[in-house]
Amino acid sequence: MGGSLVDTFARLAAEHASATGDSRNLVVVGLAGRGIQSSRSPVMHEREARRLGMRYSYLLLDFDELDLADDAIGEVVAAARAAGFQGLNVTHPFKQAVIPLLDELSSEARAIGAVNTIVFGSDSTGHNTDSWGFAESFRDTMTGASTETVTMFGAGGAGAAVAHALMELGAARVIVVDSDAAKAISLAARMHAAFPGRVEASSDPLSAVSAANGIVNTTPVGMEKYPGTPFDATLLTPEKWVADIVYFPAETELLRKASATGCRTLPGIGMAIYQAVRAFELFTGRKADRRAMADHFEAAA
């Protein structure tokens, strides 16, 4: 483990504590990922903690800003734990890479094969709050939307979580498309163990979109750093619904084109808020208020 990272993380936590008061009873957590400077997680978590009378620091461990290679993720997790963090959120591209680094997995994280929340205690335990977050957002916003056939773009960690959520939402058929066909096949095979015959891989975006009642983008395409759409949006027709888990910008190019076509749309904001609710509760053991967290999210805009 690099002592320099432990020192860096401990210093960041101390600086944050000194800016807000003493460090007694301070909960320190962080987000590990790339290109995460626009994340609203710090504001959501810290404001909810303040509302509950807690002292809480949420730090961004941005591999781009820290000039770290992807293979440093193990060192980052170990350093955060050694520096006294209570846990970490994990985002692209590390949701699957962290699994071998952990002592335990929750049943949901094990089924999904991806982790977005790590809690440090006597052991390091990986959880997945993305799946619940997507499902809750869908239930809130997409009443009556058909989940008979859903095409999902992306077979990474977020895609695995959304596929699991779609199963829980009752999807009869999920078609997975990824630029890496092997990843799509692997995800479909993994989901088959728990949900036989309901998830399949496809290398034909045109037919996959055509067959779908709804489409979900779980790739980074649409983020400011990755502009564009994950497939040709001219393939959309008004009777389809379109969801995007990207939440910054709130309206991605895909959602904008889908709305212009007449499709119902589900932005990534709801999933971002709901997954944060569950993660906050795992970090603190305290109940978070969903409506308050949504207000915190908007305040961070």
Active-site entry in 95, 183, 225, 287 = 95
H/E stretch holding 166 reads helix 157-168
What span, in angstroms and rounded, lies between the C-alpha atoms of 208 and 216? 12
HEC sequence for 53-78? CCEEEEEEEECCCCCCCHHHHHHHHH
Tell me the backbone φ, ψ of residue 131, rounded to 5 degrees: -60, -50
Q: 284 Cβ partners below 8 Å, 6+ apart? A: 27, 49, 52, 54, 56, 86
- HSE (CB half, 13 Å, CA atoms) of 149? 12
What span, in angstroms and rounded, lies between the C-alpha atoms of 197 and 212? 16
- Work out the burial of residue 75: count CB atoms within 10 Å of its CB; fewer than 13 is exposed, 13-18 middle, 19 or more buried: middle
Do 263 and 235 form a contact (C-beta atoms < 8 A)?
no
What span, in angstroms and rounded, lies between the C-alpha atoms of 172 and 175? 10
Residue 112's closest CA among 131, 98, 133?
131
| 95 among known catalytic residues | yes
Starting at the edge strand found earlier in the chain, the sheet holding 149-153 runs 199-202, 173-177, 149-153, 214-217, 241-244, 264-266
Tokens of 68: 């770290």
Looking at the annotation, which residues are catalytic?
A: 95
